[in-house]
Structures are given as structure tokens and as C-alpha cells.
Structure 1
Amino acid sequence: MKPNNARILTINGGSSSIKFALFEVGDTLQRIMAGGIERIGLPDTTFRVEGLSQKDDFLRPMTAPDHTVAVVTLMDWIEERSGRDALTAVGHRVVHGGPKYSQPQRITPAMVEDLQRLSPFDPEHLPEEILLTEAFQRRFPDLPQVACFDTAFHHDLPRVAQILPIPRRYEAQGLRRYGFHGLSYTFLMEELAGVAGTEAAQGRVVLAHLGNGASLVAMRDGKPMDTSMSFTPTAGVPMSTRSGDLDPGLGWYLARTENMSVKQFSDMVNFESGLLGVSETSSDMRDLLDREIQDVRAAEAVELFCYQVKKWIGAYAAALGGLDTLVFSGGIGENAASVRARICKGLGFLGIELEASRNTTHAHVISTATSRVAVRVIRTDEELMIARSVSQLLGLYPSTKETEHETISQNTCSGAAAQD
């Protein structure tokens, strides 16, 4: 039985941020609030909320030296605004589910123990995500919490795509290609089926989630065949601060020549590389596009990003035996028309032809009428996907599939590089 005015809070915890959204379950899933605590651990931490009316909006500075302080501030604000019993459930984005978790599940003490053991798989995300679930459990012990795993979408990749070419004994320890951005890809496939039909969604599709974190996935018959991120989210194409794929010998070289430790190498490839490392100025694609005429470093960073994404599209077209649909999403993919154009330039041999005016205006379909490949721009919505998963798992179904996810403009992820 669906409770009256059931409300689902979604939590998306990053290494330096907590993004959240509040959904009300009625005839539809309606987003009634969204916001985030940004730059946790830095002097200029901010707490931002956007509601249904302008009077609900605010942006205020706060002090949050760590995620513990930040989440307490968030929970205090929720209680002050809506009361202790305002929430029906909380859904958490959990980046890594390891080999065990392939579906959204209610969070239990046993699951938390499993996730703690998995922390070495993703030390940049999992510890904070565990902390957030434990904080809500302490404050609201009877409130159902659901974990939605980013790796779940890719859980059943073909075996050839899962295997890492290292000694087989490591496979027993869970070392394999996992893939990430699964919540985004699940949403995009549902949207693609809705706007283009089931036949298109069952065809040969490449989804490109291009944001702060960037990855691609090859789809056939509605199932993932391969994905660019691997055991960790550092692999694949260059990103805002992540390197993407590198020669493994580089680590040993830097250890010998610069006495670089394993931790220093990990920090370099995760936080100092990608667009930031190549440009030496910014991790934000918008900044680099503004500077590329005057700064060759910015120009090379943009060129490298577009070149590498293009290579992955070509590789996946080969793996799929052709291509029917290409979808751009994420902060860069949704908003940077020039990046989309550069990625697609030269891919006419695959049947990709962009219509310049459609691309410039970010139309839903940006390919020409004669293009053999449909090229689409679909705005992703991980928070809505979490809310849907929680609603389905707990039986809080809206009476219709349509969801009012445009009620609040998603300013948290509308910039050209804002979305991980």
C-alpha cells in the first residue's frame, strides 16, 4: 500500500560533494527539491537548494571540513524544514557494488560490512558513501534506505569484455572490468526506448556519458556489450582530472625516476591529469573552449578529449558490427555543441552526419535526415533513476510511467562539465 504523500530523498555522494533531490510519489514521481553541498573540506563550502518556487531557493556558505559535518547539516535542515517523519525512504548512489550486487537493494548491516570490504576497490567514493548511509541510519533508524549501484548495469557484460589480461588468479579476488555510470545508462536506455521506440533501443547503440567523469558503453539487443571504464572509474577516455587509459609501465618509470609512491601515482592519475593535466589551467571544458584560441595547452586538451572519444566510438562500432544510434549525455555531451561536432567529424564512413543547426541548438536529434546513424542528445537524470528504483523496490509505484523530472531545472548538472 502506497503511503500518502510518500517522499523519496536521493543522495549522490562524491569525494567532495553531496548532491540530493527530493521526490514526491503521486500520479507521477515529481521532483520537488534539489541541491547540493559542494567543495566539502575546502574553505568555500556552499549549501545550495532549488525548490518548486523561487522563495525556496538559497545558496549559503557553510563550514564542512568533512562529509560527517556536511551530512549532519543536511539532515538538520531536512528536519527543520519538513519534520522528522517527512521522508518515506532514502536512495543512495553507490558507485561500486563489486561482483555481488547487481540490483538495487535495501541497505542492511550485512551489506554495509560487504561494502566496507569492497572499499579498496574504490577508495575515492565508497568510504564516503558508507558514511552517508550510516549517518542516516543513526538519525532515522526506521527509515528504509536503498543502495543503487553504478556497476550493476554492467554486471553481466560478455565474459570477453569482463576479463582483465593479468594473471588469472586475480580474477578470484574480484578483479575484472566493472564499468560505471550505470544509473545514467539505465535512464538513457529507458528514455531512448520512449523517444525512439523499442526497435531503436534494441539496435546497435553507443551511449556517451561525457562529464567530469566520462565513459562510453556499447549496447546491442538492449544489453551492454562493453564499456570504457574498467576496474576503476579512472580507465577509458581522458576526463576532467582523470587520465583515462595509460601505459602501465608509466607507474614503474615514475617510481624509478621521481621516487613516486603508489599513492602519489594514484593521486596524479585521478586528480591531476586529464583536461587539467594537459591544459595546466582548468579541468572544466567550458574554460578550455574559451581559452583554446589563445592557449595551445587548452586547445590540445580539448583535441585529445575529442580524439579519444572518437576512437572509442569507432572501436565500439567495430565490436557491434556497425552502429544505429549514438547518444550524447552528461554535462559536456549535453551542452558542448562544438565538442560533439569535433567528435563526429570524420565519422561519415560509419554513417554519422550531423546537422549543424540542430547541433548548435542542442536539439534532441542532431543528425541529418539522411544520416544512417541517428545521433541524439538526451539529458540524463541519475537522481530520477534512483527514485524510480527505490519506488519500485518498496512498492511506491506512481500510477503512470511518465515522470515530471523537468519540474525543477537541473542546474546542478547543466554545465558543460558539471556532471560526473
Structure 2
Amino acid sequence: MEILIINSGSSSLKYQLVDSTTGEAKAKGVADRIGIDGSFVKYVAVKNGKEVEVKKEQPIPNHEVAMDIVTTLLTDPEVGVIKNPEDIKAIGHRTVHGGEKFVQPTIITDEVIAEIERLIPISPLHNPASLEGIRAAQKLFTKATHVGVFDTAFHQTMPARAYRYAIPNEYYEKYGLRSYGFHGTSHKFVDAEARKYLNNPYLKNITIHLGNGASMAAVNQEGKCIDTSMGLTPLDGLIMGTRSGQLDPSVVFFLVEQLGLSLDQVKNLLNKKSGMIGLTGYSDARDVAALYRSGDANAALCYEMYGYRVRKFIGAYTAALNGVDSIVFTAGLGEHDALTRSFACKEMEFFGIKLDEKKNEELNHPTKPVEIQAADSRVKILIIPTNEEWQIAKEVVGLVK
């Protein structure tokens, strides 16, 4: 079955038409800069064995218009891959925050929409965008079953000792203030791929999703997440492209009380001006790597800090799992930046983690799972390309068959 996957952001709408059996993308692209000057739609498809690409620059005032343009391209006689919207039987909506209620893919109903709306106060950046995409797709694909696949779902197996904050109980009980974790679809996909590749369903596995946003998860022998690095929001945990990651909350008090910043300014500072960009002036690891190789001290410190934070979580999760069999690198940096992996694995011999630097360089950019550990490493070190769209498609098919 072919599943249309929608990933709706505040100013973008990414889409893929995926074969749920093979993971092949029949068409994919993005409507970008929605509601902003310079908006455009990119569309790439395979038709009659040939790749076709279309890019249109045009005003896109909202997600409904974006979805209409995407639908027109999908059904276009020249470049389209379906005849009409009724050909789409199921749509998987990547939905960032599902709270405690949504622990598995869920068919979207009015009640589900109301619950996603209820979660907006703890996900003000992501859930409104998800709702925009859902409503836009529902208007155009009236015959399809719409399914929400939640980024937080995989982490809902965490025990209370891992997800609760040590603040008064009422803030959890009334307002749901706790750690939820994100990137769950990616963590779930690569964890399952690792178990299949290593032919071991009982792995103690640490998954490391390193992109512009970055997170880690500890997955036990039953394949259940028992801890993850992001918290109430995607700001917590690892250093990221523009996010600070873990810091003392008193930094916020200092910025407000001593420097006179507003809460909105602090939110912007920690989410958009910190992390790699705060340390080096660049949020793209390729730029930071070029600086590092030129001998730039800030870039060197950035890599040291980035790798050190990953290693601290590996140590913590090894303790939480009472041992570790494998660690998995995935996503943009995890799959394509050998330097990041090198810093993340150094001085970890005590844990049985030893990288083969030659393999790490030579097996960069893999298209399938590869091993990059040294011959005497007790722990497997894998690079596994993530495929969140395929994971979403598989979960949607399981619900609508």
C-alpha cells in the first residue's frame, strides 16, 4: 500500500508518498516558507522509471494552500504519480507531541484533534503546525484514513523515575509537566533495524539521533525505551545546531533578572541562538567541521563539548540499562559526520566502546547498516540510516488494513 506521509512545521509542509512494503518514495518534497516571502514548493518523483523534479516559487499564505499545491503536483498528468486524491487510502501525519495519551499510532477523529489542541500549552511551537497540516489534508483527501503518528509515543514506556521532575506533584498531575522525549519514530526505526541486523532481539541498545536537533534513547532487552535525553520540549539534553541542550535553570533567572531579557528573548536565545551557532557562529556541522580543520579554537571547543555531552549520556544509559551491547548513530550528523562520531566515542574503552577510525571514515554516508567498531571492541558501534517516513508508513498500514 502507498501511504502519503505529511510532516507539517510552522512554516513548512514536507511530504512523501511511500511504499509501505519497500520504503521506496514514489514522490517527495516540501512546501517551504509558508506565510513568508520567498515561499516555494519542491517536488521530486519517479515516473516511468525516470526521476522528475519541479520547483515552483509562488506565494503560499497557509498550509491549506500548500496542501492544495502538493495535491495538484501529485495528480498532474505530466509529473504526477496518482490519478486523483481518492487513490490515497491512508495518510500518516507526523505529530510531534502526543502527551501521555497517545502511545501508539491513532486514527484521527474530532476527539483526537481536541486532545492535540489541549497539548498546545506544552508544545506551542509544534502542535499548532501539526493541526494545520491535518486539517488541510482532511479537506483534500476526504476518502483517506488519517492517522497520527506521535514523536513522543516510543518514549512512553519510560518508568516514572526517568520521566518525572522533582517539582511539586501538582505540576505533573494538573499540567503534565514531565519528560516526554522526541524523535521517537527515528529511535524506534533504528533500534528495530539494529536488532534485525545483529540478529539479536534482546539487545541493550543506545540510539543516538544527531541532526540539527539531537537526542538519545536507552532501549532495554525488551525493545522498550527506558530513558531519553529530551524532556518536556526538544530543548533539553544534547547540544544541537541552535539549541543549548541541558543547562542549569538558573541561567534563565540570570538572563531575566540581571540582564533584563524578556522571557520571549530568553526562549529565542536558547532555542535559536545557542548550541553550535552560539559557540561558533554556524549551525551547520559542515561549516563547523571546516572551521575545526582550519584550526579555529571555538570550533575545536564545540566538537569537544558536543562529543563530551554524548559520552556522558552513553555512560548514564549504560548504567540505566545495566550494560550495553550496541550503540547506533543515525540522522544527519550521525550518518554523515565521521568527526562527530569520533568525538562521541573517544575515551570510552572502560565501557568496551572502541571505534575503528578507518572504518569510521570509509563507511561514512552508508545506505544500509554498517559496523564501525574496532576488532577488540566489546560493544557494537553501528551507523544505521534512519527512515522515519517508512516507519510511519508501516505503522499506518498496521492500523488501516
What is the identity, as a one-letter code, of the residue corresponding to 2:73?
W
Aligned twin of 1:17: 12
Q: 1-side partners of 2:9 and 2:15: how far apart?
A: 11
> Structure 1 residues 158 and 68, CA, compared in 2 at 3 Å: closer, same or farther?
same
CA distance in 1, matches of 2:289, 2:135: 41
Superposed CA deviations along residues 28-52 of structure 1, whole A, max 9, x for unmatched, are 4542122222344443434222222
**SS class of match (1:191):** helix
Q: Does 1:365 align with 2:371?
A: yes
Q: Secondary structure at the match of 1:282?
A: coil
- After TM superposition, the structure 1 = structure 2 runs for residues 28-177 of structure 1, keeping only pairs within 5 Å, are 28-52=22-46, 53-80=49-76, 81=80, 82=82, 83-172=84-173, 173-177=175-179
**Could you say which structure has the greater relative contact order, defined with CA pairs below 8 angstroms and 6 or more residues apart?**
1
Question: How far apart in 2 are the matches of 1:161 and 1:40?
Answer: 38
Residue 4 of structure 2 aligns with an amino acid whose one-letter code is L
Q: Which moved more, 1:230-239 or 1:8-17?
A: 8-17
For 1:330 and 1:272, how far apart are their aligned partners in 2?
Answer: 22
SS state of the match for residue 72, structure 1? helix
The AA in structure 2 aligned to 1:51 is A
Q: Decide whether aligned partners of structure 1 residues 294 and 44 sit closer, same or farther in structure 2, where only a CA change above 3 A counts.
A: farther
Mapped to 2, the partners of 1:215 and 1:169 lie a distance apart of: 28
1:311-349 Cα distance to aligned partner (Å, 9 max, x none): 111121122222210100010000101110111110111
Q: Give the letter aligned to residue 66 of structure 2.
A: A
Root mean square deviation, CA, Å: 1.8
The reply to whether residue 386 of structure 1 matches residue 382 of structure 2 is no
Q: Distance in 2 between matches of 1:278 and 1:70?
A: 35
Tell me the residue number matched to 1:375: 381
What code does the residue aligned with 1:180 have? F
- Measure the CA separation in 1 of the matches of 2:97 and 2:268: 19
For 1:345 and 1:264, the matched residues in 2 are separated by 36
Q: Cα distance, 1:190 vs. partner? A: 1.6
Match 2:197 to one of 195, 213, 220: 195
Indicate if the aligned counterparts of 1:180 and 1:233 stay in contact, CA closer than 8 A: yes
Residue-by-residue CA offset, 1:182-227 (whole Å, 9 max, x unaligned): 101111122112111134xx22211100001100011111211111
CA distance in structure 2 between the aligned counterparts of 1:28 and 1:19, rounded to whole angstroms: 20
> Shift in Å at residue 256 of structure 1?
1.4
Tell me whether 1:288 sits opposite 2:288 in the alignment: yes
Contact 1:7 1:86 in 2 (8 A): no
What residue in structure 2 maps to residue 179 of structure 1?
Answer: 181
| Aligned residue type for 2:179 | R
Secondary structure of the 1:56 match is strand
Please tell me whether the aligned partners of residues 71 and 85 of structure 2 are also in contact (alpha carbons under 8 angstroms).
no
Determine the structure 2 residue equivalent to 1:223: 224
CA separation of 1:347 and 1:29: change in aligned 2, threshold 3 A: closer
1:304-323 → structure 2 map (5 Å cutoff): 304-323=305-324
Amino acid in structure 2 at the alignment position of 1:276: I
Tell me the alpha carbon deviations over residues 169-192 of structure 1, each in whole angstroms, 9 at most, x when there is no partner. Answer: 111121111111110111112211
Question: Normalising to structure 1: TM-score of the pair?
Answer: 0.87
Q: Which one is further off, 181-190 or 289-298?
A: 289-298
Q: Distance between the aligned counterparts of 1:152 and 1:341, measured in 2?
A: 30
> Is the 2:180–2:231 contact (alpha carbons within 8 Å) kept by the matching residues of 1?
yes
Given that 2:120 and 2:128 are in contact with CA atoms closer than 8 Å, whether structure 1 keeps it comes out as yes
- TM-score, L = length of structure 2: 0.91
Aligned residue pairs, count: 386
- Equivalent AA in structure 1 for residue 190 of structure 2: L
Q: Indicate conservation of the 8 Å contact 1:327/1:376, yes or no.
A: yes
Aligned AA (1:378): I
TM superposition shift of 1:389: 0.7
Give the Cα separation in 1 of the matches to 2:200 and 2:339: 30
Q: Deviations over 1:66-97 (max 9, x none)?
A: 43443332233234333232211110110100
For the residues of structure 2 that align with 1:348 and 1:165, how far apart are their CA atoms?
Answer: 33
What is the 5 A alignment of 1:207-356?
207-221=207-221, 222-279=223-280, 281-292=281-292, 293-356=294-357
Letter matched to residue 320 of structure 1? L
Which consecutive unaligned segments of at least 5 residues does structure 2 have? none
In structure 1, stretches of 5+ residues that fail to align are 1-5, 396-420
